[in-house]
Structure 1
Amino acid sequence: MNLGNLAYEKLEALSQFTDSGEGITRLFLTKEHREASNYLREIMEKAGLEVEMDNIGNLIGTYRTSKNTDKTLVLGSHQDTVKNGGKYDGALGIILPIVALEKCIKDGIELDYNVKIVSFGDEEGVRFATTYLGSKALAGTFTEDLLERISEEGTSLRDELINFGLNPEAIGECRLKENVTAYLEIHIEQGPVLEHEDLAIGIVNAIQGSHRYQIDIEGIAGHAGTVPMKYRSDAGIGSAEVMVEFTNYIEKLDGIVATFGIVELSPGSINVIPGKSRFTLDIRSLDNNLIASSVEKFKEIVSKVAERRKLRFKVENTNIAPSCECSSRIINMLEKSVEDIGYKPFNFPSGAGHDAQEMKNLTDMGMLFVRCKDGISHNPLESVKSEDLEIASEVLVEFLKNYN
């Protein structure tokens, strides 16, 4: 069986660990997280790796060279998904390194450095409305206030870590202490560029920055039939006005996108004027200054609408991931690996955020993208070709053999 088919088979096996419903739902610190980690532990150990789980729920498989060195290359991605997501987002970047490293070990190729393959417990940020918890811990950027983040179920991150059998007080010890010389992440593109270019793989040269906010707007709930429109303090209409006005503003700009992904109205009855509204904003660009100025414009719009409609509001930042460039050293090595298997390198930026952004705080980082059908991701229709997985695996094997 070639590496692409082997990776595809393991990805299918990993996809069985999901909550009920359409697509894949595997959230941080859940039964599905534990089951997926048990499976990944099994295949890591079969590949010859030493395996441990740290106190943020990252599963780490380690290859130790016999050479006298502490130099370590880190490979990885995230095991968690969005709700009703696909089989390959995150998972691909765990399975392909296992397959490629196992190939090197079986072929008797001894690397001159150590390797760690990481299955990050949380990247998507679904349960606690903040992203990259796993990579923040490894990179040393995790802050204690994150332990007080509240889940959708009303429990704190601190309590959920304890329930999972982990020690939240020891998260500071998760920071990698080895001489980490680089971090490389393999990921599906989550967009249509590679498919339009008719390419199986692409090298990432930069990652868009992203800011996330949670906005609470409060008015006065009332009877839908007895309160005239001009006397209302309608939190729902106020939120809608903010979203439409800010969208109109963003659509006039180039190089930036904004998404209102969650909208909740309370009390949520057909015959009651909404007294409370909560919604989220996700804003992204390669230009950090453009994000900053757009956020200020958003706050200005919220304030203006709230004043006119007699509403109270709160805008809370839940995550900031600045845009960043990938390491030229890693890009050059990926280009050589692509050329070594007979392909022409193609470089382009990532529109999505990744654990690589946090790992850049620790070491040089790079990314390799794999084509996905129709550019679809965060969706049960997410799909990859085993032939593309084979090409990506070959590139990774070459990278491992030649990395220095």
Structure 2
Amino acid sequence: MSIKLLMQLGKETYQVLEELSKYSKEGPGVTRLYLTEEHKAAYSYLEKLMTDIGLTVEVDNIGNMIGTYTSPEKTNKTIVLGSHQDTVRNGGKYDGAMGVILPLIALKHCIQNNIPLKYNVKIASFGDEEGVRFATTYLGSKVLAGTFTSDLLDRKSEYGNTLKEELISFGLDPNKIPEDKLTDDIVGYLEVHIEQGPVLQHKNLAVGVVNAIQGSHRYTININGMAGHAGTIPMPLRKDAGVGASESMVELTRYLETIENIVATFGIVEFLPGSINVIPGEANFTMDIRSLDEKLIKDTVTKFDQILRDVCNKRGLTYTLTNTNEAPPTTCSDTIIKQLETSVANVGSDVFTFPSGAGHDAQEMKNITDMGMLFVRCKDGISHNPLESVTENDLDIAAKVVVDFLKNYQV
């Protein structure tokens, strides 16, 4: 493959991602949430991209779009490449979307240049990965992997509608979701994704091979006290739920700063009734905790439960700690790791293998097949942010790796 041709692949990928980013709610960055008008409009664009290169396109009943290339080898074996179409609010152009578009451009190159592929190829655009709207992640990949459970249909959106209701409104049939599990002979899953961290930039590398994905547990915490007048109740007599929440978060943060290999984030915090002159009578907040060590995650949750208990007992408060989602740490397939490492070397890049700190659809797909991931450098490691950035050159290298991987993949 010539450098000129490679640059064309990178440029095309970059341009398509720029166009796709326009399917967004107004505001900073990209906001393309699951089961919204932006989701629907993006799929109209994506469907044309897929059909233009001869893929058979379908949308399943959870809102995944899947384009299928049928190998002339007349095989039942299929390799899946994909990622998610949805974003966080005010996110970037490349998280998720790059993992749909870059493999699509690589596959287009293979088809148009008559590069023989031994297996059928599916390009999957998962409707939901981020979990922004229904407080649970990986809805799209769970359906393909057969791990979706019917109780998830009762999850409510920010508008109070259930997932089931919104699927129906989107034109889908939630009763048929069990039929959407992949039943082909799936021989591997590859997800291309921006790193969302600074390691590749620090190493001055365009791409890296992932060997494991951190586990992630999510919780909601509710603390109840007593609302009261801000000026008339002395500090020692208050039952301030806001202070209780704040103290608990700070205590766990200080504890985690003394140990390694685990992180916790309190991403949403709400004090009620939410008035400048009223003591908060209720506090609601979330915790996202991640590590490659499942036991360390569980031990830390136990520690936080004890912190909450001690703080609330001291301040006359009550609390609940509720788990909303669990994704265990996941190792990538040795077979795919080795073949990705070979493809990276084949394109002339240094081989570097490391774990992912973020969760990905690949964790669900491992339930049905071998899986692996290829990371692409992003500027300063910034993600979930309008400042998310990649270069055409790095996309060139990643596209070249994917083409080589598709040509040479063996099971």
- Partner Cα distance (2:73, 2:8) in 1: 29
Q: TM-score, normalised by structure 1?
A: 0.99
Aligned residue for 2:289, secondary structure, equals strand
Give the alignment partner of residue 123 of structure 2, picking from 117, 122, 136. 117
- Partner Cα distance (2:50, 2:25) in 1: 23
Aligned residue for 2:57, secondary structure, equals strand
Q: 1:350 deviation in Å?
A: 0.6
- Confirm whether residue 131 of structure 1 aligns to residue 146 of structure 2: no
- Confirm whether residue 354 of structure 1 aligns to residue 360 of structure 2: yes
Alignment correspondent of 1:49: 55
Q: 1:345 deviation in Å?
A: 1.1
Code of the aligned partner of 2:80: V
Give the alignment partner of residue 335 of structure 2, picking from 308, 316, 329. 329
Aligned residue for 2:290, secondary structure, equals strand
Alignment correspondent of 2:162: 156
Q: 1:310 deviation in Å?
A: 1.6
- Partner Cα distance (2:170, 2:270) in 1: 29
Aligned residue for 1:282, secondary structure, equals strand
Code of the aligned partner of 1:208: Q
- Confirm whether residue 269 of structure 1 aligns to residue 242 of structure 2: no
Give the alignment partner of residue 86 of structure 1, picking from 83, 92, 100. 92
- Confirm whether residue 17 of structure 1 aligns to residue 19 of structure 2: no
Code of the aligned partner of 2:352: F
Alignment correspondent of 2:374: 368
- Confirm whether residue 378 of structure 1 aligns to residue 392 of structure 2: no
Identity among equivalent pairs (%)? 63
Q: 1:109 deviation in Å?
A: 2.0
Matches within 5 A, 1:310-325: 310-325=316-331
Give the alignment partner of residue 281 of structure 1, picking from 287, 294, 302. 287
Code of the aligned partner of 1:235: A
Alignment correspondent of 1:190: 196
Alignment correspondent of 1:222: 228
Cα deviation code 1:176-228 (max 9, x no counterpart): 00011111000000011111111100000111111000111111111111222
Q: 1:8 deviation in Å?
A: 0.3
Q: 1:380 deviation in Å?
A: 0.4
- Partner Cα distance (1:262, 1:252) in 2: 24
Unpaired stretches in structure 1, ≥5 consecutive residues: none
Aligned residue for 2:248, secondary structure, equals helix
- Partner Cα distance (1:379, 1:259) in 2: 16
Q: 1:110 deviation in Å?
A: 3.1
Code of the aligned partner of 2:190: L
Q: 1:152 deviation in Å?
A: 1.4
Q: 1:68 deviation in Å?
A: 2.9
- Partner Cα distance (2:332, 2:167) in 1: 32
Aligned residue for 2:160, secondary structure, equals coil
Aligned residue for 2:295, secondary structure, equals helix
Q: 1:168 deviation in Å?
A: 1.2
Cα deviation code 1:324-352 (max 9, x no counterpart): 11101001111111121122211011111
Code of the aligned partner of 1:371: R
Alignment correspondent of 1:4: 10
Q: 1:58 deviation in Å?
A: 0.4
- Partner Cα distance (2:114, 2:139) in 1: 36
Alignment correspondent of 2:75: 69
Q: 1:61 deviation in Å?
A: 0.4
Aligned residue for 2:49, secondary structure, equals helix
Code of the aligned partner of 2:345: E
Alignment correspondent of 1:60: 66
Q: 1:362 deviation in Å?
A: 1.2
Aligned length: 404
* Residue pair 2:205, 2:350 contacting (<8 A) in 1 also: no
Aligned residue for 1:206, secondary structure, equals strand
- Partner Cα distance (2:318, 2:311) in 1: 10
- Partner Cα distance (1:30, 1:210) in 2: 26
- Partner Cα distance (2:307, 2:292) in 1: 23
Q: 1:31 deviation in Å?
A: 0.6
Cα deviation code 1:244-293 (max 9, x no counterpart): 11111111111001100000111100011111111000000111111010
Cα deviation code 1:7-50 (max 9, x no counterpart): 00100000001111111111110111111111111101112110
Give the alignment partner of residue 213 of structure 1, picking from 210, 219, 226. 219
* Residue pair 1:47, 1:98 contacting (<8 A) in 2 also: no
Alignment correspondent of 1:31: 37
Code of the aligned partner of 1:315: L
Q: TM-score, normalised by structure 2?
A: 0.97
- Confirm whether residue 175 of structure 1 aligns to residue 144 of structure 2: no
Code of the aligned partner of 2:202: H
Give the alignment partner of residue 105 of structure 1, picking from 96, 111, 114. 111
Q: 1:103 deviation in Å?
A: 0.5
Alignment correspondent of 2:238: 232
Alignment correspondent of 1:290: 296
Alignment correspondent of 1:392: 398
- Partner Cα distance (1:61, 1:34) in 2: 16
- Partner Cα distance (2:230, 2:178) in 1: 52
Code of the aligned partner of 1:61: G
Aligned residue for 1:65, secondary structure, equals coil
Aligned residue for 2:344, secondary structure, equals helix
- Partner Cα distance (1:231, 1:78) in 2: 50
Q: 1:98 deviation in Å?
A: 0.5
Please identify, of 333-342 and 11-20, the stretch whose mean Cα deviation from structure 2 is larger.
333-342
- Partner Cα distance (1:68, 1:384) in 2: 37
Give the alignment partner of residue 246 of structure 1, picking from 234, 243, 252. 252
